[in-house]
């Protein structure tokens, strides 16, 4: 009733089985479309080790794990301030997890202060979680779009901000 098929044997194909033709190679000079064949893998987060000291601003659309010291502003997609990290400046990200120390403003859609976090500055957020034991000095403000709120208020058009010079006689 049942018999062993030759399908499992290497190099043989059952009758009537057709194999699809291999994809044609791109014409010379043409670039293959890799985006259509498979999605790009997500890059691992950039990591700033505990012995690294950076003076200046950092900006990326990716993820950053900070363990060292940064004196400057940081802007990222996902920002993790590690337990040994010290950041002096404003941090802005979609998702922020603070385990270390931040001195400056924190702006994020989701902000989480772990039990070992030390934050000295204002937090502007859409959602926030503060674990028991976290140290926080500053104000907390909820906004629907905390990433685009700037500290500078726009000057109305036509407003004269310069002082008139005194008339000379």
Q: Against a cut of 0.85, is the pTM above it?
A: no
Q: How far is CA 168 from CA 64, 160, 165, in A?
A: 58, 21, 9
Predicted local confidence at residue 122, as pLDDT: 97
Predicted local confidence at residue 30, as pLDDT: 54
pLDDT of 144 strictly over 70: yes
Burial classification of residue 159, based on how many CB atoms lie within 10 Å of its CB (0-12 exposed, 13-18 middle, 19 or more buried)? exposed
Query: What is the band of 169 on the pLDDT scale with cuts at 50, 70, 90?
Result: low
Could you please report the per-residue DSSP string of 48-66?
A: E-TT-EEES-EE-SSEEEE
SS3 138: coil
pLDDT of 59 strictly over 60: yes
pLDDT per residue as tens digits for the range 82-141:
999 999 999 999 999 999 999 999 999 999 999 999 999 999 999 999 999 999 999 999
The rounded radius of gyration (Å) of the Cα atoms in the chain is: 28
pLDDT of 58 strictly over 70: yes
Predicted local confidence at residue 42, as pLDDT: 74
Most confidently modeled of 19-23, 24-28, 91-95, 149-153? 91-95
Predicted local confidence at residue 34, as pLDDT: 47
Domain-wise residue ranges, the chain: 46-142
């Amino acid at each position: 009733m049942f018999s062993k098929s030759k399908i499992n044997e290497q190099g043989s194909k059952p009758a009537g089985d057709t194999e699809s033709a291999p994809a044609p190679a791109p014409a010379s000079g043409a670039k293959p479309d890799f985006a259509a064949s498979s999605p790009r893998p997500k890059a691992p987060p950039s990591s700033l080790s505990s012995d690294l000291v950076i003076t200046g601003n950092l900006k990326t659309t990716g993820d950053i794990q900070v363990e060292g010291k940064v004196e400057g502003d940081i802007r990222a997609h996902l920002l993790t301030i590690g337990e040994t990290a010290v950041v002096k400046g404003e941090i802005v990200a979609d998702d922020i997890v603070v385990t270390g120390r931040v001195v400056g403003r924190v702006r994020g859609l989701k902000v989480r202060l772990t039990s070992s976090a030390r934050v000295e500055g204002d937090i502007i957020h859409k959602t926030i979680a503060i674990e028991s034991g976290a140290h926080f000095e500053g104000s907390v403000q909820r906004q629907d779009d905390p990433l685009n709120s700037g500290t500078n208020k726009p000057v109305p058009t036509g407003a004269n901000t310069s002082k008139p010079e005194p008339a000379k006689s």
